[in-house]
Structure 1
């Protein structure tokens, strides 16, 4: 049955629309389970009833006409119970309801499984048998597995409007990802695909099939000539098997039946790139389904050939993609380079199917103030081109075809954001002082020169975290020491005389360099941060030398070490820093030794905070990683991102322990994680005694307004109460209530 399920999934991947998928399901399940009937009922969003949408065994004319409410009939009972129903004599069950139009009076056995997506019953899949039959546990498990596969398909169909025939023009659908850049965007989806990814070609129609066919044949001929030329050019360096691969490519392109398949789809008003991708993916899936290993391996060759031709189809297109005024860029894996394709004034939001909140494009988006959601892996992006979207960069949500009510709510949030931004800008030149006179230093986290202007405009007093990995991510090789020096100099000069804290290279985890790949089964517990650079002292020394040379005459540099888990790592890194400083002094550079700090972001460092504070010049807490390590929650995994909570009692207790340990040794300690940029988080951190709060420039005015309205003695009372609480959600709501009492309700994030 496992192989049968794989074959069904492969057929579904090649299906063009929902109707084709449903027909495949009912036909294949009926055959695999050797039953008389397989039917699928789907929820109608308008009425809430469940409509028969596909069947193999019941009367075809009943499709779209028979419907049941939750609790009505056996299908409605499956919906109500949200679990399978297995009966050998269905007609004797009290809930049985007879529909003459279906012809189901002939069938005795009944097995129904709910189709559930994100806790909502989207439909029911049913198999029926003429003879009395109790389906066994394996058969029941198989149907449940099929229903789980079908749930995602139907959720996608709801999002794309495929279910419009069931009563509503467009079905509102919501998808979850990772909040990567705050804000709300309302606009139209603009799909941007990778250059040659067959699976990422969006569905698009063609207006003139014959012209599209001519265009397709021209691109096919160009690809054929290129492959022949490459094969001929490399002939002397290829063995017989490799030569045969080029011959096979040309042979497939010469195959009239392949071109005929594509042309047939184009005549059905489908664009050439989409038609080509559909046909080639079907061939790929056929090869993958073969039992012979040699033929399964050929699937990769077919995919490669498809990508080569797709590249030519893309190059042949002369029309440049146009972007409207309210464009939301959507793609499988957005890159910073893709942002250059759209005018900034037209770009309202970003959605990436892959990636994390620390992806390069997410960093750029935060610097540009573009609401962004990453890791939205359930979103059917290739089928929503032009659809209206709402991107909630606070919660990591995407709403497709939003209702008028939802749209109005988010429009109000946008207006509130604009009004708030205008009022907060007036605070840029004002100091951050609480109502009872406590001065709080507000710094910024940066990584790009684009951050500098925004940071200075918003009154930043220094840089608490400069991500030096950004220049490394933007290149195809390690930047030279001189290239690094020039980049670091720009940052140091821009903020001089205020301090700039430069974190040494922090790669690994979800930040990989294309030219220095790190592949691990568990990257967040693997080779990352200081572990990489201590293993490669040539990288560390070159970077530290570049930082120090950049600080010549400015003396506002602070160096921060990431991912320190113990004293030995700190001492090893300090020796290298001292060595680099000695080398520069010997070379004639009159540079003072910069302060050296430790990032506290792993649990072991929490328990050694006092020992580290004794040795380091300052501590800086990275609450993002510290929270995920304490709670064992990958914050870049959308499935568990909801469990990530920086207000968890364990996190707050750790933060209090760190600041107490640092101050016991007279060492300054700051925060450079996202919690510092949360109004409620800032209140608690100031109450704990943190000396510096560093955050994204976008959040700085919001935090300044929050703290200028607060009183430290009252915050101490708040902290004492919060530290006695046992639930993160309760703590969060308690803090939000305090913000409202301070008259700061406009500073709360939507829903806060």
Structure 2
């Protein structure tokens, strides 16, 4: 038996035979061509097919991984329409009289290198996206059929790496799990694998083509893969897999139950969503409401600034579908790692600390007013909370509220019905946590965004895979800021929720309940496991076993 280690994407067990995934080698000739126009037409045909492919992958990912995770393919489609990239490829074909394959490979390699050499980790990651769309065009140019690479039997795939498009194109019914030599736990591929509930290991340097056809077990709990496991180990991990399946079935029995501890404390358990396509997941997993509705999908899925009517229809659909459940809508959080060309945002050396979210909205007020009017109109169709992101001062919150009130008065003057709504702010910076007492006087609720709060408190870029060894998601400074925020909110009658990744960390659930948190908002798939944990907690027990003296 051989044991190889890597970094686990998902706690789970996958058992089966290994299929080594060998993508066709790209042998690109640099031969000159005589018919330049024919070569330009070949390129354009391949590009159009690649655009259509990204659209199909978006639709597939939408179903399998949700709106937010599918957005990468929307971005890929935009990249394939980028004039600079198209011009660079056409220039090589026309001026150098090279074939389309050579032109695509050269132009994409050059563009990927530009991104790879940037200091910003988000822009570094765009290098892999360029490689992905370049490979897509080359496959069409060269007639590569990737459909047979997975084989016809359920298997564990082993590969050098998998691009997001490759991951989504795989037949999920034949995919037991996968192992790659390269990759990152924060990559789009890893996020997609988690969303699709696929056990996987990345950065498994010992992965080998010699494993092809051998029986193996991916042990996501221990971040390893066993090649040709012993009978005892096979029996043990089969039992663990059966236990996991039984737990999943048991969780379904929790539907309709209260999120109440043994000693009677009830907490709201809501879901985070990325768009209307996640409505089904909210209902299927019995979430009490939506604690974070990311409105970025409206902007990322549009080639120009979305109109008030387009936004209204999208927001109304979600509110109406989930009524009377509360839906907390976060206003536009474009910027940092989420950009769209039509907003013409300047490149920044430090975008995570730059022009994003409320900072854009307060300096582009007509843009902000368009969204606020759409939200206010939608409020008549459900139970809405409006939440402002990246607030760091009372002045910003007051200004945002003033613009919201101006929009409300405008709509009422136009005879448009506006519903009731709560106003909240995200606490995702140390500044906001420290000012929580003052901010609480200005709003109805807080939602703590632990992802950014951790990043800004610890000065750890969460997009940078190299910093994983330095990252501590349970950092005591972050937990103290959460405690401070909850206490400050309660002093002023403001309820407090958590909508970041830590909300789904079951090892912290009891800690958060003891802090007094009112609401936890998590990925829809985490709702029932969180409910089960809450129902097993007794807050009257002494947490430290010291008798409370």
* Same structural fold, with TM-score higher than 0.5 when normalized by the shorter chain: yes
Kindly report which structure 2 residues correspond to 1:205-224, keeping only aligned pairs within 5 A, or say none.
none
Task: Confirm whether residue 712 of structure 1 aligns to residue 539 of structure 2.
Answer: yes
Shift of 1:411: 5.0
Preserved CA contact (<8 Å) 1:435 1:709: yes
Kindly report which structure 2 residues correspond to 1:420-499, keeping only aligned pairs within 5 A, or say none.
420-499=247-326
Cα distance change, pair 540–645 in 1 and its aligned pair in 2 (3 A) = same
Cα distance change, pair 599–464 in 1 and its aligned pair in 2 (3 A) = same
**2:140 equivalent in structure 1:** 314
Task: Confirm whether residue 530 of structure 1 aligns to residue 358 of structure 2.
Answer: yes
Cα distance change, pair 382–609 in 1 and its aligned pair in 2 (3 A) = farther
**1:226 equivalent in structure 2:** 39
1:686 to 484, 502, 513: 513
**1:415 equivalent in structure 2:** 242
- Secondary structure of the 2:465 match is coil
**2:417 equivalent in structure 1:** 590
Kindly report which structure 2 residues correspond to 1:98-137, keeping only aligned pairs within 5 A, or say none.
none
Shift of 1:446: 1.2
**2:96 equivalent in structure 1:** 249
- Secondary structure of the 1:438 match is coil
- Secondary structure of the 1:669 match is strand
Q: Which deviations, in whole Å up to 9, do the C-alpha atoms of 1:233-259 show, x marking residues without a partner? A: xxxxxxxx9999546532x559xxxxx
Preserved CA contact (<8 Å) 1:458 1:697: yes
- Secondary structure of the 1:545 match is helix
Q: Which deviations, in whole Å up to 9, do the C-alpha atoms of 1:133-159 show, x marking residues without a partner? A: xxxxxxxxxxxxxxxxxxxxxxxxxxx
Preserved CA contact (<8 Å) 1:333 1:355: no
Cα distance change, pair 443–384 in 1 and its aligned pair in 2 (3 A) = farther
| Matches of 2:200 and 2:144, distance apart in 1 | 30
Kindly report which structure 2 residues correspond to 1:116-515, keeping only aligned pairs within 5 A, or say none.
173-176=4-7, 179=9, 183=12, 202=23, 204=25, 225-227=38-40, 246=93, 249-250=96-97, 311=137, 314-317=140-143, 319-322=145-148, 323-324=150-151, 325-326=154-155, 334-335=163-164, 341-348=169-176, 357=186, 368-370=196-198, 399=224, 402=227, 404=229, 412-513=239-340, 515=342
Preserved CA contact (<8 Å) 2:497 2:519: yes
- Secondary structure of the 2:371 match is helix
Kindly report which structure 2 residues correspond to 1:556-567, keeping only aligned pairs within 5 A, or say none.
556-567=383-394
Shift of 1:326: 4.0
| Matches of 2:390 and 2:158, distance apart in 1 | 34
| Matches of 2:143 and 2:43, distance apart in 1 | 23
- Secondary structure of the 1:500 match is strand
RMSD: 4.6
Preserved CA contact (<8 Å) 1:220 1:312: no
Task: Confirm whether residue 605 of structure 1 aligns to residue 418 of structure 2.
Answer: no
TM-score (norm 1): 0.54
**1:159 equivalent in structure 2:** none
Shift of 1:466: 1.0
Shift of 1:413: 4.5
Preserved CA contact (<8 Å) 2:380 2:420: no
**2:349 equivalent in structure 1:** 521
Task: Confirm whether residue 542 of structure 1 aligns to residue 384 of structure 2.
Answer: no
Deviates more, 1:704-713 or 1:578-587: 578-587
**2:70 equivalent in structure 1:** none
Higher RCO (CA 8 Å, separation ≥ 6 residues): 2
**2:404 equivalent in structure 1:** 577
Give the structure with higher Rg (CA). Answer: 1
Preserved CA contact (<8 Å) 1:447 1:470: yes
Cα distance change, pair 606–326 in 1 and its aligned pair in 2 (3 A) = same
Shift of 1:634: 2.2
Shift of 1:365: 5.6
Shift of 1:381: 10
| Matches of 1:576 and 1:384, distance apart in 2 | 64
Cα distance change, pair 184–548 in 1 and its aligned pair in 2 (3 A) = farther
**2:78 equivalent in structure 1:** none
Shift of 1:280: 7.9
- Give ranges in structure 1 of 5+ residues lacking alignment: 1-167, 193-201, 206-211, 232-240, 255-272, 289-303, 722-752
Cα distance change, pair 312–693 in 1 and its aligned pair in 2 (3 A) = closer
| Matches of 2:174 and 2:35, distance apart in 1 | 35
**2:123 equivalent in structure 1:** none
Q: Which deviations, in whole Å up to 9, do the C-alpha atoms of 1:509-529 show, x marking residues without a partner? A: 333335546532222222222
Shift of 1:577: 1.5
| Matches of 2:317 and 2:162, distance apart in 1 | 30
**1:10 equivalent in structure 2:** none
Cα distance change, pair 247–675 in 1 and its aligned pair in 2 (3 A) = closer
Cα distance change, pair 440–341 in 1 and its aligned pair in 2 (3 A) = same
| Matches of 1:438 and 1:343, distance apart in 2 | 44
